[in-house]
Amino acid sequence: MPEKHALLSASSAARWLNCPPSAKLNEGSDEGSSYAAEGTLAHSMCEVKLKGYAAAIPKRTTTAKLKKLKSGPLYQPEMDGYTEEYLDYVKKIALSFSGPATIRIEEQVDFSAYAPEAFGTADCLILFGDELHVIDFKYGKGIKVDAEENPQLKLYALGALSKFGFIYNISKIVLHIVQPRLDNFSMWETNAADLRTWGELIKPIAQLAYNGEGEFRSGDHCHFCKIASTCKKRSEANLALAQYEFRKPPEISTDGSPTLSNCELAEALTKGAQLVAWYEDLKECALAKLLGGEELLGWKAVEGRGTRAFINPDAVPERLISIGQSGDLAYERKVLSPAALEKLVGKDVFNNSFADLVEKSKGKPTLAPASDKRAAYVQGTTAAEDFK
């Protein structure tokens, strides 16, 4: 894993390409959340497993390194299954060629030819003939990541072209996202010429970002920004949404109906998603300020609903017996859910030993933007029964 962190990092490219001044505002390292630490551990396991395969490291050495990683408090057995899926994915690509491919693991690449002093570390690069594959492992399950036009992977690819272009006559470039916890394996193909053209196009934007200049702009890229909750530009954009007046396309009849048309409903859903996300960020920021002793006119922090818990659970059965009841009443016996059991024993063990005992029901219909790659929901007999 890299120790240094570039101002214009590949991982934050979606943000600084859309909002150049945010690069300077987000400069410096964060303490990181438990989710980030969990992701770092999973990445380390991927690295050890992949090096064990690609570099022919003795099995005992790989086992020892994995054992050390698993000794920490963040390790969960399910990590083994998810990191094995990543390993299998990389192996499938590597074995698809007519000869042995070059596999570079945790490879630092420099793309400063397109963004000042910029570099990053690619999880895995595979080179063979005229092909370059850039593979990125995502352990998170909060946000689904797509390989198509992914700026992080495109910058890694540009760095790889600069580093290996004199050895390999690279023309075909394939970007991959491996996000096993969401069953998301995304792939997108481009070529070296188009990628370099894109690199030239972002040069002026990257320079603005490096200088801390340019215009602030809000959007989906705000999600991981340090000032997302207090950013004035984001506030202005979302307050404008709150006052938004629906525009009826010419082909939609304006009959004075008090209810939204399907067209207006779709538009409201699209606009409202950002508004909801912004308001949740506002609440989190406001609560932190109030708990820190600051004042917000018209608002205060209050105690939420608490939960009850026994001080000494082991004493409960004894107390039941003392009042003439059976101590067994203190316990609830039920089989763990498939997800909980899989987390407990690990994905491989679960699939090998319990898969035949599992039945997966059809998921309930849920809203998604048209860009979502999942197939449209196929109704059963009636929509009403589907919702039941």
Which residue in 108, 104, 86 sits closest to 9, CA to CA? 108
User: Is residue 203 located within the same domain as residue 239?
Assistant: no
Residue at which a domain ends, from 179, 211, 243: 211
Residue at which a domain ends, from 211, 241, 267: 211
Give the model's pLDDT for residue 30: 56
User: Is residue 19 located within the same domain as residue 133?
Assistant: yes
Residue 337 lies in a domain: no
Q: For residue 283, what are the domain limits? A: 229-291
Give the model's pLDDT for residue 339: 86
User: Is residue 202 located within the same domain as residue 283?
Assistant: no
Residue 301 lies in a domain: no
User: Is residue 191 located within the same domain as residue 263?
Assistant: no
Angstrom distance (rounded) from CA 92 to CA 312: 52
User: Is residue 98 located within the same domain as residue 194?
Assistant: yes
Please state the rounded mean pLDDT for residues 301-324.
92
Q: Amino acid identity of 60?
A: R
Please state the rounded mean pLDDT for residues 118-128.
96
Give the model's pLDDT for residue 68: 95
Residue 224 lies in a domain: no
Residue 117 lies in a domain: yes
Angstrom distance (rounded) from CA 14 to CA 27: 15
Q: Which residues contact 312 (CB under 8 A, 6 or more apart)?
A: none
User: Is residue 116 located within the same domain as residue 55?
Assistant: yes
Residue at which a domain ends, from 176, 211, 246: 211
User: Is residue 25 located within the same domain as residue 169?
Assistant: yes
- Identify the H or E element spanning 238: helix 232-242
Structure confidence at residue 111 as a pLDDT band (50, 70, 90): very high
User: Is residue 171 located within the same domain as residue 254?
Assistant: no
User: Is residue 200 located within the same domain as residue 76?
Assistant: yes
Q: What is the average pLDDT score of the chain?
A: 88
User: Is residue 240 located within the same domain as residue 272?
Assistant: yes
Query: How many domains does the chain contain in total?
Result: 2
User: Is residue 133 located within the same domain as residue 249?
Assistant: no
Q: The domain that contains 116 carries what CATH number?
A: 3.90.320
Angstrom distance (rounded) from CA 98 to CA 128: 9
pTM: 0.78
User: Is residue 152 located within the same domain as residue 253?
Assistant: no
